[in-house]
Structure 1
């Protein structure tokens, strides 16, 4: 029989109807909808007071709303379905990438006739590719992340103009054998599960590109662009750098007859597939729904909600106010869901848990393989 603490934990993780989901605000779109719901309710209150108290005739024919309701529903359905398709495709691509990495690490560990330390170093590179993809999709272009620097070998560097070398610790000192200073010796210093990064680091990447375009002439944005340029020059192609280095390693071992042609072709195929997945993930993250469509949809939904009081007030009277509040919550909530999951690679509650995918699904599994076999 579960203890009271375990029962409460199971209850809090319950996903379905009833308590506590109907009272849950974390991960809900309600906070982002409160301003527009409040404005719509205030507007409905004004219309209701004018009609019932001051007897101002503001009625509109109901047939107008019936014709527009179908169009609004189709627009909302298309927006939400398109956003969820991007969310689901991102999940499938990340899973596919993890599968290719698992197969590649297995072939390296079993079929490549090389020193154990060299094989571990290149398997770490395979893991670093997954972590680098995660940061690449979040516009975090550096190698000093706690979950990335220890996976890269100490001689890893970028082919940039500044010849920036990495990985290094936070104080600028080189790491020990590519592992952080606090690496766990019980795990052989090979792979240590890192802690989750702060959500504030992705704040700049969550700003819509249209906002940058509209404020491009301001000094603040110019300064931000200069800083992004400095940080992006060194490591914006980190995943491709890792793939290039792995390709050189596989080619060298094939020339040295340390891996047969069949296994070499399989490894090359996995690398090609990883590059293709990178392009597909970039397409999802860098191709938002057209701004004109989102803008028009928000305008249409807002006008629709604000016209409803003129149709409903003669029937519902004072109940028009709570009715408009409820309708605003439904429609603007659906609209906010589409915007929430449109880019699934950030730190929001409704984004894909990429940190857990990297730590649990990939790094931990491969760490067990390196430790016990």
Structure 2
């Protein structure tokens, strides 16, 4: 009976959504530029974007996905950590390791088959090893500090958005008692404001990834009705071009000459792209001003809390931009890179006197450890990108949207609906009597029961209270 009752509205809603989508598609194609829309959709799909922002698209983990990110936190591997490839920097280490292996082979071969002896005293190994250890420690600590700051700011975004969403949904009045139309307008305005919270998170994600367009499938439905500066720019010029196979392979292997400037799209734009997250906060502030003027949020403490939450979102925007735009000073980066490479290149000369042919694998192993730690520091220095170990911002945005959907799935709760319920066992585990049962008892009985509840010991959650005057007989209900 329940399924028969609920299913038709669901089918009707799906049919309405399908018809709306078909109508919008037909309208778009009737403008005379269907090829542009088809190419745009193909471009988004090629770049990994999907129309749905509520749940990740299911897919099998292909070989190239092992080194593309961010990593899907829902996936679980039973392999030991030392055997895992997903999340490893191994692909970007292949070319450096091959070069180091060739270098160590050349040094060993010359020393073995010629009269030129290239082995040196290992004292230099000890001195340089201490310096390299300090450099790598500094590089790792500063990189993880930035990674941790990025996660803290995004946690603050989630916390503030949930608080503000709950504040709007519960404490902004819907004036259904005045008129049905006015009540519907208030409800739809609340939903529009809550969508702005989703839009802020998604717009911030794209801004931190240097993706300045508005027509991304997870962003456009949320901001199409807003007059954003980036929306007036030429969107075609803001689309990423498909890289050539050679360029893709170079980026995959960590070749610096193949890496593009992440700000290329922003530099290439001739229009002022504005700051979409900040502009969205302006619209959110205008909504709060509207409810203040309409007196649908009258509590001063609620008004202050709402504006403080908007200010907190602005703090998140500024903080994440600080993490993104103030990396480790380039002098430190260059110096640390030079120190580590100098150490690795000198290593075969110091190992040959003791290891001979084992110098080759020994040098490659040391290079993997030293250069690998340096490469990890470089990767996590910007926690908002698309590397495997970067923060899964798409998952965070979907989680926030899902939380708001759950909140709005039912009307704002009223105390009489849940507190007065018969199965509300207000004195559990002392008594199984519900709210209505205790409502008919005297105030002295309630106080005495509370005293008994405080003085009665329960050793575990599964243990029953000892027999008391307030305990209900087993099987009884109120």
Structure 1 partner of 2:336 = 297
Q: CA deviation at 1:324?
A: 0.4
Conservation of the 8 A alpha-carbon contact between 1:72 and 1:301: yes
User: 1:93, 1:223 → 2: CA distance?
Assistant: 26
The answer as to 2:210 corresponding to 1:139 is: yes
Conservation of the 8 A alpha-carbon contact between 2:206 and 2:212: yes
Conservation of the 8 A alpha-carbon contact between 2:240 and 2:265: no
Conservation of the 8 A alpha-carbon contact between 1:199 and 1:347: no
The answer as to 2:77 corresponding to 1:14 is: yes
Deviations 1:19-67 (A, max 9, x none): 3543333321111111111111111111111112213222222212211
Conservation of the 8 A alpha-carbon contact between 2:104 and 2:348: yes
Q: CA deviation at 1:165?
A: 9.4
Structure 1 partner of 2:367 = 328
Root-mean-square deviation over aligned CA pairs: 3.1
Structure 1 partner of 2:409 = 371
Pick one of 48, 71, 74 that aligns with 2:131.
71
CA gap 1:225/1:348 in 2 versus in 1, 3 angstroms: closer
Q: CA deviation at 1:223?
A: 9.0
Secondary structure in structure 1 of the residue aligned to 2:232: coil
Pick one of 119, 122, 142 that aligns with 2:190.
119
Structure 2 partner of 1:255 = 293
The structure showing larger relative contact order (alpha-carbon pairs under 8 Å, at least 6 residues apart) is 1
CA gap 1:158/1:224 in 2 versus in 1, 3 angstroms: closer
Number of residues paired by the alignment? 312
Secondary structure in structure 2 of the residue aligned to 1:113: coil
Conservation of the 8 A alpha-carbon contact between 2:211 and 2:265: no
Deviations 1:229-272 (A, max 9, x none): 43xx24x3111111111111111211222212211100000011
Structure 1 partner of 2:48 = none
The structure with the largest alpha-carbon Rg is 2
Structure 2 partner of 1:246 = 284
Which runs of structure 2 are paired with 1:1-373 in the superposition (5 Å)? 13-14=76-77, 19=79, 21-114=81-174, 115-152=186-223, 155-158=225-228, 164=232, 227-230=268-271, 233-234=272-273, 236-260=274-298, 261-359=300-398, 361-373=399-411
User: 1:358, 1:105 → 2: CA distance?
Assistant: 14
Structure 2 partner of 1:179 = none
- Higher mean alpha-carbon deviation, 43-52 vs 74-83, is at 43-52
User: 1:106, 1:199 → 2: CA distance?
Assistant: 41
User: 1:118, 1:282 → 2: CA distance?
Assistant: 30
Deviations 1:89-146 (A, max 9, x none): 1111101111100000111011112411110011111111111111111111222111
TM-score by structure 1 length? Answer: 0.76
Gaps of 5+ in 1: 1-11, 171-196
Q: CA deviation at 1:283?
A: 0.6
User: 1:364, 1:134 → 2: CA distance?
Assistant: 17
User: 2:155, 2:371 → 1: CA distance?
Assistant: 32
Conservation of the 8 A alpha-carbon contact between 2:204 and 2:277: yes
User: 2:404, 2:266 → 1: CA distance?
Assistant: 38
- Higher mean alpha-carbon deviation, 25-34 vs 280-289, is at 25-34
Conservation of the 8 A alpha-carbon contact between 2:120 and 2:353: no
Structure 2 partner of 1:7 = none
Deviations 1:330-368 (A, max 9, x none): 111001000111101111111100000100x20011111
Gaps of 5+ in 2: 1-74, 175-185, 412-478
- Higher mean alpha-carbon deviation, 323-332 vs 300-309, is at 300-309
User: 2:148, 2:233 → 1: CA distance?
Assistant: 36
Deviations 1:301-340 (A, max 9, x none): 1111111111111111111111001001111100100011
Secondary structure in structure 2 of the residue aligned to 1:58: coil
